[in-house]
Amino acid sequence: MATAKRSVQNPVDEANVRTSIFEKVSYGMGDVACNVVFALTSGLVTYFYTNVMSVSAAMVGMIMLFSRIFDGLSDVAIGLIRDKVHSKHGRGRVWVLWMAIPYGVTAVALFCLPANATAAVQAIYIFITYNLCTTVVYTALNLPYGAMAPLMTRNEQDLAKINLFRMAMSPIGNMIVSAATLPIINRMGGDQAAWIKVTLIYSIVAIALLLWCFFGTKERVRTQAAQEAEKLPVGVRFGALIHNKYFLLILISALFLAVYQTVNGTCATYYAQYILGNNEYYSVLNLAENIPQVIVIMILAPFIKKFGKRNLVLWGAILTAVAQLLLLFVPANPTFAAVIAAIRGIGKAPLFGCIFTMMADVVNYGHWKTGVRVQALVFSAATVGQKFGGGIAGAVIGWLMDASGFTGLEQEIPSAVAMVENLYIWGTVFAWAVIILLMLAYKLDKQYDGMIADMEQKDMLKQAE
């Protein structure tokens, strides 16, 4: 009887468990909630500022740029702080609990912009609330959440499935917000009060989903190498990152994925209104893109095993870029635009489904290559790429639209309409073309099994007591 008890408490056995379907779903609920605010901040809030509150597109773009710089720095700061926080609830789960209510409150604050204030006061309010929501709260929630999966199991196949559940469920929050927001708000009058009420409902639902994520998951993995790495100077840990070539490839991939998400999220609303003729087509485009993405991610596991993560991401990126180029031939047809959006959803699914598992692979590669395991910093620094990419793209979009003479009125001038069309089409092509080049340089899949075998032989993956 005593022997059985010791076996249950053995940290190696616990670390290698296969998580239940319920736990995988519970983990995925966290990203459903996170994508509620991401959908708002990556596209809809810009439309709200320019077309509802009449704020200058250039001003919004400048605020987004500076905010994303701060946001990127906050990722590294939260990553370092997270390494120092030890809670009975775990190292990632506890942040989900702490940030749930602030997450909802700050999301609503984004849309409480003083309507009759001066341009300077409005700019200050946008800067403060946007950074409070995204730079502070969202980062403190999403970054520890994203690093939770490798702490739930050390079983490679189960970890891949956890991340597939996450990324299959992830677009649900984005889909609901992107598809439902404008139609609902238009029917509620389309004014600021409507935006606030709808965001409040989203926030309450998101808080409930985050609590589901917290109570439905468990952290089990605590490697001795990760524990030892936390005691090393920051410079040593960053040095290990810099010498990890695959981390740099994933970092830049995350940056250009964010460029795509920002271009698509920001410009699709304007494209629907000024090119397709109705802003509610934005909902159609979003559903057309995200439903195929979810379906493909759900069936991705056997294809990962057969073809490898990198190959799937590479061919998916090629498909996405080629499909977007076809939009040049029939840019103003809603049906054709929806078909292209569906093909984009299929093409981008492998990257969305594999990127976090690839980050976990990169952690192991860095540990094997340098002897230093910097798990938290890999996940936090990779998100820096996303924040910088989104900030730069948002600023460039704002500047270009302002230079085109964009007014935000119901009938837009021809130069602004042409700019919206070019940004929507060529911005996507550019982002995915860069990802194609990065994946051509990514060779980790070929050496991964041998690397893990070598690490196990050297006892580098030993669990902490």
Are 170 and 31 in contact by the 8 Å Cβ rule? The answer is: yes
Can you give the pLDDT at residue 256?
93
CA distances from 416 to 115, 123, 391 (A): 25, 23, 21
Can you give the pLDDT at residue 434?
96
List the beta bridge partners of residue 223.
463
pLDDT in tens, 441-464: 999 998 888 998 888 888 777 765
- Closest-CA residue to 360 (of 374, 342, 350): 374
Can you give the pLDDT at residue 317?
97
Can you give the pLDDT at residue 346?
96
Q: What is the distance between the alpha carbons of residues 434 and 52, in angstroms, rounded to a whole number?
A: 34
Are 206 and 173 in contact by the 8 Å Cβ rule? The answer is: yes
Can you give the pLDDT at residue 352?
87
Stretch (H or E) spanning 460: none
Residues 6+ apart with CB under 8 A from 11: 220, 222, 463, 464, 465
Can you give the pLDDT at residue 13?
53
- Cα atoms in the Cβ-side hemisphere of radius 13 Å centred on 109: 17
Going by the DSSP 8-state scheme, the letter that residue 411 receives in this structure is: S
pLDDT in tens, 262-272: 888 888 888 99
Q: What is the distance between the alpha carbons of residues 203 and 46, in angstroms, rounded to a whole number?
A: 18
The answer, yes or no, to whether residue 428 has pLDDT greater than 60, is yes
pTM for the model stands at 0.72
The residue length of the chain stands at 465
The pLDDT > 70 percentage for the chain reads 91
The answer, yes or no, to whether residue 188 has pLDDT greater than 80, is yes
Structure tokens of 418?
């042409």
The answer, yes or no, to whether residue 12 has pLDDT greater than 50, is no
What is the arithmetic mean of pLDDT over 421-432? 95
The listed range with the strongest mean pLDDT (24-38, 39-53, 381-395) is: 24-38
Residue 411's CB is within 10 A of a number of other CB atoms, namely: 7
Can you give the pLDDT at residue 10?
44
Residues 6+ apart with CB under 8 A from 295: none
Structure tokens of 197?
């009420």
Are 373 and 363 in contact by the 8 Å Cβ rule? The answer is: yes
Are 229 and 372 in contact by the 8 Å Cβ rule? The answer is: yes
pLDDT in tens, 141-184: 988 898 888 889 888 788 888 988 988 888 888 788 878 888 89
Q: What is the distance between the alpha carbons of residues 38 and 345, in angstroms, rounded to a whole number?
A: 18
Return left, alpha or beta for 113; rule: phi > 0 is left, psi -120 to 50 is alpha, else beta. beta
List the beta bridge partners of residue 463.
223
**Average pLDDT score, the chain:** 86
Of 147 and 10, the structure prediction assigns the larger pLDDT to: 147
Residues 6+ apart with CB under 8 A from 411: none
Q: What is the distance between the alpha carbons of residues 427 and 419, in angstroms, rounded to a whole number?
A: 11
Can you give the pLDDT at residue 47?
87
Going by the DSSP 8-state scheme, the letter that residue 280 receives in this structure is: T
The pLDDT > 90 percentage for the chain reads 42
Residues 6+ apart with CB under 8 A from 425: 324, 325, 327, 328, 331
pLDDT in tens, 94-148: 999 999 999 999 999 999 999 999 999 999 999 999 999 988 999 899 888 988 8
Q: What is the distance between the alpha carbons of residues 148 and 82, in angstroms, rounded to a whole number?
A: 11
Q: How many Å is the maximal CA-CA distance in the chain?
A: 80
Can you give the pLDDT at residue 2?
39
Contacts for 227-236: CB closer than 8 Å, 24+ residues apart: 227/464, 228/373, 229/372, 229/373, 229/374, 229/375, 230/83, 230/84, 232/372, 234/80, 236/372
pLDDT in tens, 308-349: 999 999 999 999 999 999 999 999 999 999 999 999 999 999
Q: What is the distance between the alpha carbons of residues 224 and 367, in angstroms, rounded to a whole number?
A: 12
Can you give the pLDDT at residue 39?
81
